[in-house]
Amino acid sequence: MSKEQDGSIKSYGRGGSRTKRGHDSFADGNDDVGSLKCQRIITEEEKKDFISYQKEMDERRDRYERIVKQSRDVIIECKRIIFQLHRTIIVNTSTNKEEVLNEADRRLKEVRNKMLRQIAEELYSLDHYYYLKSYDWALEEYIEALAFYKFLISGEVLLYSEIIDILQFADLVSEENKKFYIELPEITYLMGLFDVGGELMRLAISEISAGNSNTAVNIVNYMRSLHGCYEFLGNIVHTAEWTKKSQVFRDCLMKVENALYKWKIRENDMLIDASLLT
Amino acid sequence: MEDTVLPSSATNPVDVMFEAFRELVEKDRILKDNIADVAHGMEYWVSRIIAILQKTHAFKDGCDIDLKEVQNILDEVQKYLIKLAALISPVSYYRFYDNFRFVIQKLCFVVTYVHFLKHGILLSRDRVAEILNIKVDPAAGFHLDVEDYLFGVLQLANELSRFSINAVVVGNSVLPFKRGVEGKIIVFVLLFSNETSKSSAFRIADFLYDLDAKFRLLNLKNDGLRRRYDALKYDVQRAEQVVYDLTIRGLKRPADEKSVST
């Protein structure tokens, strides 16, 4: 503290260089200038308010940083689960495929029961919207992984009510009968569902490359349905991110449609070749 | 799955979900517009208070008359605060925070400035919330956020550094009329006799010294408040410059002057 105070005193010298007038006849009156250099000390009573502000702000920032770290872990794990789900196309038998899906389901449950639950505990009885920016990107990734998994299981869209129930943690035991939950704005859910389009496009291209068009047809129907719903919503959020994701989703849909188109064309070419051989 | 799905059919659970989203977003938009309207109405009254307080730079009359009118307008502002609290309390305080945070900051500046003009000390956040009749506890719903209060105090520092300069200008305004007639001694006697400008300049410098020291107690993160705090040192520097200019001309710091905060 005294170091900064010395810095303040030094600034007197800078001011002096800009004053050119002198008053020699009053030189004796300046003997008290030395008294200006005394150290100013704030009493503990005066510090009390700002120390309480410091503690309040530090507490909020520390919690924010803890949630950010937890969110980063959630994102990393969800991306790994998505990579694992993409490996279903390289397994040969339905038994192996089921094993891959079961492993993914186990890991998704672990993400929810440990990582997301810990975020919910941090946010207990607090205003979730204050900390929303620290965890909504993690929830987007989790929704992407969960929706992708559900498509592989049943081909259906993950509903908002389902993800809300999952984030209630009602089936987990909690001490003192507390009810933990994570606030999920509908915008965050819709953003996460946008991201599924990219994964489904990747899956469709891989399946067509492997010579299987049935999955791609299911994917294109799924994405067309979603695209229609998003167009129905229109530009409900005037943010750059929404516009960007909407465009990317549309591009992914067109890629899948283009892949199916080429598959159809080449299928006929192969049939023609086969007929010539007979 | 069907090849084509029309959103208007509303039989598919996905379509039902998106219909609900549309309604939810519309409700949020209406609420957001209502909050913005109330904040805009409050802004008008706060701006009127600031216009009144700008008269203090001219040092005309006493401050008492203006401050009474300011108090009347503050009562009007409290009505808007009640409306704002009614709109916000059902939902989250921070969800539409950006729509009203700046008017709250300006309101904090106004209240602390008025209090400084009256008593010369820094008003604490609890006292500001008490004057505005709102809470400080986040769990209470609508409350005075600590960062908004600190933003308001930093605006106060910027205003006071300007106030300090204008205080000296008022003291010097008699100089040109007397220079041609009287000698130097008479000129400085007039400067000495102007207690208001002398006390104001020294008192403001002490206040800003204390404020800068108090802000150093905080661990400011690299965000908007930190950037705003970085400008505080220029306000302190201006106040120090005024004190220096007065001191080298023989005007001494009053011994009994010292600012304190409650």
Please report the ipTM that was assigned to this predicted complex: 0.75
**A176 and A189 fall within a common domain:** no
| Phi, psi at B219, each rounded to 5° | -100, 80
Dump pLDDT digits (tens) for B29-46: 798 889 998 998 988 889
Last residue of a domain, one of A115, A147, A182: A182
Does any domain span residue A202?
A: yes
**A255 and A267 fall within a common domain:** yes
- Nearest-CB residue to B5 (from A8, A127, A225): A225
In the predicted model, what is the mean pLDDT of chain B? 75
Domain residues for the domain of A85 are 56-182
**A143 and A228 fall within a common domain:** no
Does any domain span residue A19?
A: no
Question: Which chain B residue is nearest to residue A27, measuring alpha carbons?
Answer: B250
**A162 and A207 fall within a common domain:** no
**A178 and A206 fall within a common domain:** no
A199 is in an annotated binding site: yes
User: 3-state DSSP: chain B helix, strand, coil percent, rounded to 5?
Assistant: 75, 0, 25
The proportion of chain B whose per-residue pLDDT surpasses 90, expressed as a percent, equals 10
Confidence of residue B113 (pLDDT cuts 50, 70, 90): confident
Last residue of a domain, one of A156, A182, A208: A182
- Nearest-CB residue to B14 (from A125, A127, A225): A225
pLDDT at A197 over 80: yes
The proportion of chain A whose per-residue pLDDT surpasses 70, expressed as a percent, equals 75
Top-confidence residue, A171 or A130: A130
Instruction: Label residues A114-143 b or e (16+ Cβ within 10 Å = b).
Output: ebbbbbbebbeeebbbbbbebbbbbbbbbb
Average pLDDT over residues A98-113: 87
- Inter-chain CB proximity B217 and A47 less than 8 Å: yes
Question: Which chain B residue is nearest to residue A3, measuring alpha carbons?
Answer: B213
Q: What is the pLDDT of residue B139?
A: 80
**A239 and A213 fall within a common domain:** yes
Top-confidence residue, B66 or A204: A204
- Inter-chain CB proximity A232 and B124 less than 8 Å: no
**B184: which chain A residues are within 8 Å (Cβ-Cβ)?**
25
| Phi, psi at A159, each rounded to 5° | -85, 155
- Structural domains of chain B, with CATH: 16-144 (1.20.58.190), 146-172+196-255 (1.20.58.200)
**A192 and A154 fall within a common domain:** no
pLDDT at B73 over 70: yes
Candidates A203, A189, A118; CA nearest to A147 is: A189
Confidence of residue B65 (pLDDT cuts 50, 70, 90): low
Our count of domains for chain A comes to 2
A140 is in an annotated binding site: no
pLDDT at A37 over 50: no
Average pLDDT over residues B107-134: 86
Lowest mean pLDDT among A15-24, A45-54, A265-274: A15-24
Does any domain span residue A96?
A: yes
Question: Which chain A residue is nearest to residue B121, measuring alpha carbons?
Answer: A46
**A4: which chain B residues are within 8 Å (Cβ-Cβ)?**
212-213, 216
Candidates A94, A152, A70, A43; CA nearest to B121 is: A43
- Inter-chain CB proximity A225 and B138 less than 8 Å: no
- Nearest-CB residue to A228 (from B5, B188, B237): B5
**A124 and A223 fall within a common domain:** no
